[in-house]
């Protein structure tokens, strides 16, 4: 829980965050007026801490890997062509 780690401001469910498909980041409003941000690539690598670029606050994003959008850089799987 957030109370156990003094560096964390809060824990937030991924459903409460906004996903920016263009920038490939999730963000959530920060009390300082900016927003916490975490990239989709970092989340796929197991990172769950979103940081505010303006202040020192951090939040933990609660998510399962299945909650994340599919990776568009994966090559499409094509059917084998019979000869």
pLDDT at 79 exceeding the cut of 70: no
Q: Taking the complete model, does pTM exceed 0.85, yes or no?
A: no
Backbone angles phi, psi at 76, to 5 degrees: -65, 140
Q: Does 32 map to a domain?
A: yes
Output the domain CATH number for residue 28: 3.10.660.10
What is the C-alpha to C-alpha distance for residues 68 and 33, in angstroms, rounded to an integer? 26
What is the C-alpha to C-alpha distance for residues 38 and 43, in angstroms, rounded to an integer? 7
pLDDT at 46 exceeding the cut of 50: yes
For the segment 42-67, the average pLDDT, to the nearest whole number, is 93
CA angle centred on 15, ends 22 and 41, rounded to 5°: 45
What percentage of the chain reaches a pLDDT higher than 90? Answer: 67
Query: Which is more confident, 34 or 76?
Result: 34
Q: Does 79 map to a domain?
A: no
């Amino acid at each position: 829980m957030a109370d156990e780690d003094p560096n964390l401001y809060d824990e937030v469910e991924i459903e409460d965050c906004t996903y920016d498909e263009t920038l490939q980041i999730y963000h959530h409003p920060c009390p300082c007026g900016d927003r916490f941000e975490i990239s989709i690539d970092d989340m796929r690598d197991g990172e769950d801490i979103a940081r505010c670029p303006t202040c020192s606050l951090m939040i933990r994003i609660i998510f399962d890997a299945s909650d994340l959008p599919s990776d568009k850089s994966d090559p499409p799987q094509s059917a084998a062509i019979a000869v």
